[in-house]
């Protein structure tokens, strides 16, 4: 007469609300972005260590102007690739991201030669920890970070240009440390800003196009900047 409990809906799981589905979607999307980023970092590490372990290849890269050309090329390529990714197909965007990660590995091949393995590992752990904390802040904060983010972007570009000028021409150790401290602070702030921006883009447009690859690219570049700045500050170079 009254039907079973299942028929009356007592055992039926409640359907998730639209807000709950959106929250789950954001979390899954951001996890995917971080996986893309981690893959890029892994490629960079493998390439860097592979080249560093072969003296003849290191000589070919850093015994000529190739290393300088690649260093400048990756700086320009980061800007160009960020603009190109939204217009590319998914496979082309992924290939571009991984190719850029490999090129960055060539540029960073000096790291295992200049710094002790233990110091590299310690700085990497510190970078991961700082990145994770700032990413969580960017994910959960209700404050709009867009204004702060624009300031950080301009400060980072200026600091990187100053670093290149100092490295190639001025070669001041104290200036290098100051620039590294600035880049570390700016990169930490940008981690929160980029995380919030990517989250908001997903909430507004979903995961359409190459948003995941683009998000991974900007976070990857920011992670590398943070790692290198902390390495210069605390890595204890052998030079």
Helix then strand then coil, in percent of the chain rounded to 5, is 85, 0, 15
**Close Cβ partners of 156 (under 8 Å, ≥ 6 residues apart):** 183, 186, 187, 190, 225
What is this structure's pTM?
A: 0.87
138-182: per-residue pLDDT in tens? Answer: 999 999 999 888 899 899 889 988 987 887 788 898 999 999 999
Q: For the residues 29-47, what does the mean pLDDT come to?
A: 97
Distance of CA 99 to the CA centre of its chain: 15
- pLDDT attached to residue 18: 55
pLDDT per position as a tens digit, 111-122? 999 999 999 999
CA distance 187 to 39: 20
Question: Residue 17 has what pLDDT?
Answer: 56
C-alpha to C-alpha distance for 41 and 215, rounded to whole angstroms: 14
Residues 6+ apart with CB under 8 A from 107: 67, 70, 71, 74
- What are the structural domain ranges in the chain? 21-234
């Amino acid at each position: 007469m009254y039907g079973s409990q299942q028929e009356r809906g007592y055992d039926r799981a409640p359907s998730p609300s639209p807000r709950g589905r959106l929250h789950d979607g954001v979390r899954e999307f951001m996890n995917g972005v971080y996986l893309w980023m981690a893959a890029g970092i892994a490629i960079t590490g493998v390439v860097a260590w592979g080249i560093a372990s072969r003296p003849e290849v290191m000589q070919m890269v850093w015994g000529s102007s190739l290393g300088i050309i690649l260093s400048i090329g990756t700086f320009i390529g980061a800007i160009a690739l960020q603009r190109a990714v939204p217009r590319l197909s998914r496979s082309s965007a992924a290939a571009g991201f991984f190719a850029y990660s490999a090129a960055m590995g060539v540029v960073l091949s000096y790291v295992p030669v200049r710094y002790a393995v233990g110091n590299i590992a310690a700085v990497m752990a510190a970078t991961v920890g700082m990145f994770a904390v700032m990413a969580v802040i960017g994910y959960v904060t209700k404050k709009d970070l867009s204004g702060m983010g624009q300031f950080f972007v301009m400060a980072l570009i200026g600091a990187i240009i100053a670093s290149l000028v100092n490295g190639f021409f001025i070669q001041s150790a104290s200036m290098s440390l100051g620039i590294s401290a600035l880049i570390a602070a700016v990169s930490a702030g940008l981690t929160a800003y980029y995380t919030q921006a990517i989250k908001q883009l997903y909430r507004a447009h979903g995961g359409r196009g190459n948003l995941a690859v683009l998000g991974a690219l900007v976070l990857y570049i920011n992670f590398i900047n943070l790692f290198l700045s902390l390495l210069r500050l605390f890595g204890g170079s052998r030079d």
